Structure 1
Amino acid sequence: MVTSGEFPGLDLPGVDASSSLEGLGPVELHDPTQDIDGDGTLDTVTTSGPEAMQVWSDYDHDGVADQVTVVEKDGDYAAWEFHHNPDGTSGWVRTDQGKIGQ
């Protein structure tokens, strides 16, 4: 599992492809470095460590991650989106998972 301590200067939570993200809450993105959606505004931070790569994106530019994707070195991957529910609650919902090449 990747942990936030592996990336000095970043305060991103440790997430791997099998994480549930239950109870994680909103994740702030400071100083995005990539423009993943091509709209001309930096919206994404990519981190990598010995076991995995994480891609955290803030597509609505409110400073909070809307989506995270993790790809592990063994090919396992997963993606989640942060949802705001009508009842006022919010949380991460897994939108995809699997193994690359299968």
Structure 2
Amino acid sequence: MVTSGEFSGIGLPHIEAGSNLHDLGPVELAHPTVDISGDGIADSYSHSTPNGTEVWSDYDHDGFADHVTVVEKDGDYAAWEFRRNPDGTSEWHRTDQGKLGS
């Protein structure tokens, strides 16, 4: 399920491992706080809730998330990549999913 986010006012959507992101579209990542790629530039934002953790990343530094991963407290996880297609359309494509410890 995708719902509107209230992450400290930055407006990221809340997602779950079973979410379908086909209708989500581009997601602005205006204030990354973590450098996951190791290039010295903050490119990601991590948010934990009682239900799990989401990590949104902007690897090309264009201000929009390119990748998102969610890990729920029960071990369910999933990852998606945002792709821009040659015909001008774009979509979130699931790249991984499963359950930790199984």
**C-alpha RMSD over aligned residues:** 1.3
Q: Name the SS of the counterpart of 2:27 in structure 1.
A: coil
Distance 1:39 1:60 in 2: 11
Counterpart in the other structure of 1:49: 49
Q: Name the SS of the counterpart of 2:30 in structure 1.
A: coil
Counterpart in the other structure of 2:68: 68
Flag as ranges the 4+ runs of structure 1 deviating above 6 A. none
Counterpart in the other structure of 1:87: 87
Distance 2:8 2:88 in 1: 34
Judge conservation of contact 2:10–2:31 (CA < 8 Å) in 1. no
Q: Name the SS of the counterpart of 1:79 in structure 2.
A: strand
Judge conservation of contact 2:2–2:21 (CA < 8 Å) in 1. no
**How many correspondences in the alignment?**
101
Identity of aligned residues (%): 65
Which amino acid in 2 is paired with 1:47? Answer: H
Q: How does 1:1-102 map to 2 (within 5 A)?
A: 4-5=5-6, 7-102=7-102
**Unmatched segments (≥5 aa) in structure 2:** none
Q: Deviations over 1:15-38 (max 9, x none)?
A: 000001011000000111000000
- Per the TM alignment, residue 2 of structure 1 is displaced from its structure 2 partner at its CA by 8.1
Q: TM-score scaled by structure 1?
A: 0.94
